[in-house]
């Protein structure tokens, strides 16, 4: 065994037993263990690990743990978590509210009530999506290259977490996707609007968009105004930027 001293900073402590939070502790690893293996065996998914220092020097997760090492593990600073352009997500079955709001902001987000872990892992790799989940074991899967553990329980607070982690305000295209199908919205055909939208709505609004998948029609009504305020608050931007 190799015995190393570990110190996990900031919110990474939430993955640890209480007696290991905010303090250095010794941990015995298999002699051939990498930092990734050691850190995950302690309880922290690799997707949550930002910079790592070993004996005061930067190290990668592939580095082997050696006897006597002093390891410091930091979370990602705001806006520095890795992703591939365009920023896209896949959310597990417990994060429907968060997925809905990400689609409002224009982020391609795969979600449905019966989404299984195996599909999440496969699609995240094949489609280069960031996995969003409250299941730390799912994030420990070696095939999950990019992911985020969602700490908050309420959708608005969850969005605030993800907005800070990935600097969403820089990449958003609000109200450009269908909230149900996750497909791009396009200007609605006037004939389609006349068939599907009540006359009182057509008299009040002039701009309509449509989804080619489910044929839903969208317009900037009172619900749109309310959600614009909620999204702006989560992103800490002016409501005018979410339009």
Start-to-end CA distance of the chain, whole Å, equals 57
CB burial string 65-75: b at 16+ within 10 A, e below: beeebebbbeb
Q: List the chain pLDDT tens, one digit each, 243 residues.
A: 899 999 999 999 999 999 999 999 999 999 889 999 999 999 999 999 999 999 999 999 999 999 999 999 999 999 999 999 999 999 999 999 999 999 999 999 999 999 999 999 999 999 999 999 999 999 999 999 999 999 999 999 999 999 999 999 999 999 999 999 999 999 999 988 999 999 999 999 999 999 999 999 999 988 888 999 989 998 888 877 888
Answering whether pTM is above 0.75, one says yes
CB burial string 33-51: b at 16+ within 10 A, e below: bbbbbbbbebebbbbbbee
Return d(Cα 24, Cα 13) in angstroms, integer. Answer: 11
- Residue with token string 């958003």: 172
pLDDT at 165: 96
Return d(Cα 124, Cα 126) in angstroms, integer. Answer: 6
Return d(Cα 201, Cα 216) in angstroms, integer. Answer: 14
* Sequence-separated (6 or more) residues with CB below 8 Å from residue 37: 29, 30
Q: H/E/C letters for each residue in 159-228?
A: HHHHHHHHCHHHCCCCCCECCCCCCEEEECCHHHHHHHCCHHHHHHCCCCEEECCCCCEECCCHHHHHHH
Q: What are phi and psi of 154, to 5 degrees?
A: -95, 140
Return d(Cα 3, Cα 33) in angstroms, integer. Answer: 11
Residue pair 87/167 in contact (Cβ under 8 Å)? The answer is no
What confidence tens digit (pLDDT) does each residue in 149-179 have?
999 999 999 999 999 999 999 999 999 999 9
Return d(Cα 223, Cα 175) in angstroms, integer. Answer: 12
Q: Tell me the CB-side half-sphere exposure of residue 185, using CA atoms within 13 A.
A: 23
Q: What are phi and psi of 147, to 5 degrees?
A: -165, 170
Residue pair 145/124 in contact (Cβ under 8 Å)? The answer is yes
Q: Do you find a cis peptide bond into 149, omega within 30 degrees of 0?
A: no
pLDDT at 236: 86
CA distance readout (Å), 2 to 27, 40, 230: 8, 16, 50
């Amino acid at each position: 065994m190799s015995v190393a001293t570990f110190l996990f900073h900031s919110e990474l402590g939430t993955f640890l037993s209480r007696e290991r939070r905010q303090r250095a502790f010794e941990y015995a690893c298999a002699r051939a263990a990498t930092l990734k293996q050691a850190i995950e065996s302690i309880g922290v998914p690799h997707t949550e690990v930002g910079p790592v220092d070993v004996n005061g020097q930067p190290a990668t997760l592939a580095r082997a743990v050696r006897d006597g090492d002093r390891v410091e593990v930091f979370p990602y600073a705001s806006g520095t978590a890795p992703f591939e352009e365009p920023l896209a997500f896949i959310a597990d079955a417990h994060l429907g509210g968060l997925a809905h709001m990400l689609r409002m902001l224009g982020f391609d987000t795969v979600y449905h009530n019966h989404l299984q872990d195996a599909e999440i892992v496969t699609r995240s790799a094949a489609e280069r999506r960031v996995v969003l989940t409250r299941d730390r074991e799912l994030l420990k899967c070696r095939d999950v290259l990019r992911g985020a553990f969602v700490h908050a329980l309420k959708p608005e607070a969850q969005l605030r977490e993800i907005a800070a982690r990935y600097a969403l305000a820089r990449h958003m295209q609000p109200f450009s996707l269908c909230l149900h199908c996750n497909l791009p919205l396009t200007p609605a055909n006037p004939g389609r609007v006349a068939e599907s939208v009540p006359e009182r709505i057509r008299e009040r609004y002039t701009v309509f968009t449509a989804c080619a998948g489910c044929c839903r029609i969208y317009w900037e009504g009172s619900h749109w105004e309310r959600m614009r305020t909620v999204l702006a608050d989560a992103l800490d931007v002016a409501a005018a930027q979410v339009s």
